[in-house]
Structure 1
Amino acid sequence: MRRHVRRLAGVLPGTRIGRIRWPRRTPIAPFPWHYWWQAHLLDCLVDAQRRSAREGRARAIAATTRSVRIHNAGSWINRYYDDIAWFGLAVQRAGGAAGRWGPSAIEAICTQLGRGWTEDGGGGIWWRRGDNSKNAPANGPAAILLARTGQVSFAAAIVDWMSDTLVDPDTGLVHDGVRVGPDGEICEVDKRIFTYCQGVHLGACVELAQRDGHQRWADRAVAVVDAVRRRLAEPSGVLPGVGGGDGGLFAGITARYLADAAVRRPELSDAAGQLVLASAEAAWDGRLDTALGPVFSADWRAPAPEPRAGVPESDLSVQLGGWMLMEAAARLQRGG
């Protein structure tokens, strides 16, 4: 917060926004501002407030919610369905702390997500308007949000599509996405494996297991945790990093939903919890202490270097990933 969070334009009262790098590069350009990084900043603030409620933090939650809309030209919506799903999740978790803007944000975002579903490629929500790809980073968080706001059948349809289309039958890991041709059929599968694709699939399965109760959701949750443990986190048991930029958030998102699974699903408490705690121990041991607080490494398996221009550790995304991980570990501790 001390390194990255400032008023909009540095001066606008009642606002909070995350600067994407520290130390700052000059001159400072207003774009890109990374809408979805701001969503995870808000989510981390909510985590912290649930752990230890403070009046100042509650004000920061409301200010950050409002500031995203101001910076986004007065709208909650942009062309990326994954961006708005992430922000909707954070606002929904914030509840009344998001201020009077919360309900309108969730309504607008859920309506837009509904418009993103088509039968092209067998179903699923597009990654962004005007594109030909459908992927896990858009569909996973959308399904979690829709389930949490009562649209369980819609969420189930999304996750069934993900399971049928994106889960590798040999490894159990979730591919990034697919591209859809002009005929509405899948023409390419993007088989890249990212940690957060596993995390959002897990999160959606856990949410549906709690709300729907069909056994397939619990079975799929167990399968994806096992795949992450055996194929991504071995031999150290620590979730791997992928550098800075957007990738700085990937492992932290996975840790969030692993902790959620460990607390809410007894069959996952050990396997999912161990991944979170091993990663948190490694990240904390590898932190760099500064006068403005700890700096986390972009790869929790390695020590953090001094943040400077061109180093991933200067990115807000990397530091939010470390913050998410610590909150995930704290949640496990609170949950026993």
Structure 2
Amino acid sequence: MLEIWAHRADLAEAAINDRHASKVWGIPGTNLGVVAWPSASRDELFLHWHYWWQAHYLDCQIDAFNRGATNVRAKRLTRTVRGIRLRNLGPLTRNRYYDDRAWMALALGRMRGLPRVHPPSTLDALEMDIIAGVDPNLGVLPWKTGASFFNVPANGPMAIMCARSGRLDLAVSVTDWISRNLINDDGIVMDGVRMSMHGPEVVTDIHPYNQGTFMGAELEIALALRGQSATPVENLEYAEADSADAYIPHIMLIRDLVQSTATHLASTHYVLNWPTTGGDGGLFNGILARYLADIALRLPADSHLNRATKRLAARMVLNSAESEWRHRLEVDGLPVFSNHWDTDAQLPRNAVPATSERGTILGSTVPERDLSVQLSGWMLMEAAARVSEKYSATRV
């Protein structure tokens, strides 16, 4: 199974390279993802380039590099970082949206320790800039500079960033705030809290990537706390382990979140299928799949409940990937992925391009035209390639 999924991930990578990868304004040694295919002149000139989409373009490249650390991939990563810095027309902190910056920090942070590639020296400044935006009263980030909307799209990625970079206290306080305020009765993460003159108003919208980032943050926190623990949980009965260490509540929450995801965000065949548009929404299910793959592979297997949770997460990743692959189109031998993983992809010709509304990129009339949708498909193939190293579809 590993060879099959690695090959499919290679084809997804090749499709992006063939249709979307381009030099920035023709400048040698740069690369970005053109936001649409087929592209218009304004797309090719990067009049619109969508900062946070490029962060996920980097993330997908890192996934591919981790499968096979080739010189070609190393050069493309370096050129993409250079392209992002060039097109941003200033330091990476030059962006009003904290969620955008947090995604960029996560992607660049994953470059630490990779052979032949290095994150920019400004990564530390980017992380500090994000943390400086935390509201001193609420202890969480607003969506953007000066906003009164405090949402999971900003705080989920920041919590992951903090847990990975050793700022564990902040990561825990942010996820505790989300857990107290933004988990609905079905166990699904809601969008955020808007502070108004009448008091806090919960925005109950469901976007599947919020489920993903919250699970991802809880996993990073649990692993960090477990690393600090002196208790050999593998040698304890599960009932004893429940009270043994601070990380156990985070593990228990992850189990509940994975089960809620399977019940409410996936089909009866365990295919992730929460309806999304193209545009920004094109990335949402792919991000959820990324963090489900992390749980399948990195959640400690020291109890039968954890092992069942890992298998369930793996099943959702592999079944979603199989469905998405089955519903793809092929153009010149390379996949065009569907925006909806359980329905056939549409050929993105003569589509009205994506537009922006109040800081959100709306989808093209044929969502498959959008880079975000194709990155999501690539992200899913990479997740399946990782998971298939340990699990097969028949075993989960």
- Shorter-normalised TM range: over 0.9
Cα RMSD, aligned residues only: 1.7
The amino acid that maps onto 2:87 is H
| Paired position in structure 2 for 1:293 | 334
- Which residue number in structure 2 is paired with residue 109 of structure 1? 126
Are the counterparts in 2 of residues 61 and 98 from structure 1 also a CA contact under 8 Å?
A: no
**8 Å contact from structure 1 (residues 62, 99) kept in 2:** no
Range with bigger deviation, 303-312 or 250-259: 303-312
What residue identity is the alignment partner of 1:88?
A
Structure 1 residue 33: deviation in Å? 1.4
Ranges in structure 2 where 5+ consecutive residues have no aligned partner: 1-16, 227-246, 352-364, 392-396
**Structure 1 counterpart of 2:204, one-letter code:** K
List runs of 5+ in structure 1 lacking aligned partners: none
2:156 matched to 1:140? yes
State the AA in 2 paired with 1:7: K
3-state secondary structure, aligned to 1:301: coil
Q: Deviations over 1:204-258 (max 9, x none)?
A: 0001110013211111111111111111213231112412100000000000000
Matched, 1:194 2:200: no
Alpha-carbon deviation of 1:130?
1.6
2:56 is the counterpart of 1:40 = yes
4+ runs deviating over 4 angstroms:
96-101
Give the counterpart letter for 2:332 in structure 1: A
Distance 1:166 1:12, change over 3 A: same
Structure 1 equivalent of residue 239 of structure 2: none
Instruction: Write the mapping of 1:206-225 to structure 2, written as runs, cut at 5 A.
Output: 206-213=219-226, 214-225=247-258
1:55 to 1:166, Cα distance in 2 relative to 1, 3 A: same
1:18 pairs with one of 27, 33, 46: 33
Deviation at 1:275, TM superposition (A): 0.6
> 2:296, 2:314 within 8 Å by CA — same for their partners in 1?
yes
User: Which residue in the other structure is 1:239 paired with?
Assistant: 272
Residue pair 2:37, 2:348 contacting (<8 A) in 1 also: yes
Tell me the SS of whatever aligns to 1:104.
coil
CA distance in 1, matches of 2:103, 2:82: 15
- Inter-partner Cα distance in structure 1 for 2:117 and 2:336: 34
Matched, 1:59 2:75: yes
Give the residue type in structure 1 aligned to 2:314: G
Q: CA deviation at 1:101?
A: 6.4
The answer (yes or no) to whether the contact 1:258–1:273 under 8 Å persists in 2 is: yes
In structure 1, give the amino acid aligned to 2:225. D
Match of 1:328 in 2: 383
**Residues in 2 aligned to 1:23 and 1:147: alpha-carbon distance in whole angstroms:** 39
Aligned with 1:90 (options 76, 95, 107): 107
Spell out, residue by residue over 1:78-100, the C-alpha distance to the aligned partner (whole angstroms, 9 max, x if none).
11111111111111112255978
Q: Distance in 1 between matches of 2:197 and 2:62?
A: 42
TM-score by length of 1: 0.94
Q: Note the alpha carbon deviations across 1:127-173, whole angstroms, 9 max, x for none.
A: 100211111111011111111111111111111111111111x1111
- The answer on whether the counterparts of 2:111 and 2:118 sit within 8 Å (CA) in structure 1 is no
**Equivalent-residue separation in structure 1 for 2:158 and 2:294 (angstroms):** 17
1:31 counterpart letter in structure 2: L
Maintained 8 Å contact 2:30/2:82: yes
Give the structure-2-normalised TM-score: 0.80
The answer to whether the Cα contact below 8 Å between 1:42 and 1:64 also exists between their aligned partners in 2 is yes
CA contact (8 A) 1:61 1:94 kept: no
Q: Which residue of 2 aligns with 1:259?
A: 293
| CA displacement, residues 53-103 of structure 1 (integer Å, 9 cap, x when unaligned) | 210111111111121111111211111111111111111112255978625
The structure showing larger relative contact order (alpha-carbon pairs under 8 Å, at least 6 residues apart) is: 2
Count of matched residue pairs: 331
Contact 2:42 2:48 in 1 (8 A): no
Residue of structure 1 equivalent to 2:135: 118
Q: Identify the residue that residue 203 of structure 1 maps to in structure 2.
A: 216
Q: Per the alignment, do residues 135 and 14 of structure 1 end up closer, same or farther by CA in structure 2, a change over 3 Å counting?
A: same
- Partner of 2:131, secondary structure, is helix
SS at match of 1:289: strand
1:282 corresponding residue in structure 2: 323
The percent identity for this pair of structures is 43
Greater helix content = 1
